[in-house]
Amino acid sequence: MRHYSKSAVEDYRALDVRRLARSNVLQPGHYCLWTWWRDGEKVASINVKAEAHAIRLTYSANGTPQAYSVRLERTPCHYGGNRVWFICPAVGCHRRVAKLYGGTIFACRHCHQLNYASQQCSQRDRGINNSWRLRRKLGCDWGWLDMPAEYVPRPKGRHQTAHARDIARLARYDAQAEASFAAVTSRAGAMLARLP
Ligand SMILES: [Zn+2]
């Protein structure tokens, strides 16, 4: 059975695997038009069709039709359930990531060379600095672009309630970091547009 629904995400074109999961877009057979909005205006949309272990993306980029699959991978959590990831579809990459960024194709930030943009905002952004500090305290070597807050495992011996509090705080820092990153990446839009 096919489902059809509309989803809205704000601002710039990023696909967040957790957001898709929460919107039930990853259920095999689900089909939706995923739409990006800015100031109440539709900026872009793509068709997303969920298969068993992948999603198929169909859209047009600068008049050129695009259609390809992005593999999904699930990793078990220590405390039950699992986490879902994208496998970056760029040729030769295959990194496991939570977010893909749209240019002509959706790819991870490494492929889009967004490191520079994230370094630019890290100079002055408190959210990013706070996020890194808390992640180090939690024993997490991964940055906010690569490991979503709720994916950060609980350190051994840390009480569950205390950890949940840390994660809630980390999610707030990450959101601040994300906001300044979005500002920088939208300025770097020209760079995204000419990627593979
Ligand atoms: Zn990649």
**Domain end call among 62, 84, 112:** 112
The predicted structure's pLDDT at residue 192: 43
CA of 158 to the centre of ligand 1 (A): 33
Please write the tens of the pLDDT for every residue from 130-145. Answer: 888 899 999 988 887 7
Q: Report the interhelical angle of 115-122 vs 126-137 (nearest 10°).
A: 100
The closest of 15, 3, 5, 7 to 107, measured between CA atoms, is: 15
Pairing of strands 30-38, 3-10: parallel
Number of domains making up the chain:
2
CB–CB of 102/44 below 8 Å? yes
User: Is the full-model pTM beyond 0.75?
Assistant: no
Say if residue 160 is in the same domain as residue 176: yes
CA of 175 to the centre of ligand 1 (A): 22
Give residue 100's domain range.
3-112
CA of 96 to the centre of ligand 1 (A): 8
**Residue 192 located in a structural domain:** no
**Domain end call among 112, 127, 146:** 112
Say if residue 107 is in the same domain as residue 121: no
Q: Which residues pair with 47 in a beta bridge?
A: 33, 58
CA of 1 to the centre of ligand 1 (A): 32
CA of 93 to the centre of ligand 1 (A): 5
Say if residue 106 is in the same domain as residue 135: no
Please write the tens of the pLDDT for every residue from 61-112. Answer: 777 888 999 999 999 887 778 899 999 998 888 899 999 988 778 888 878 7
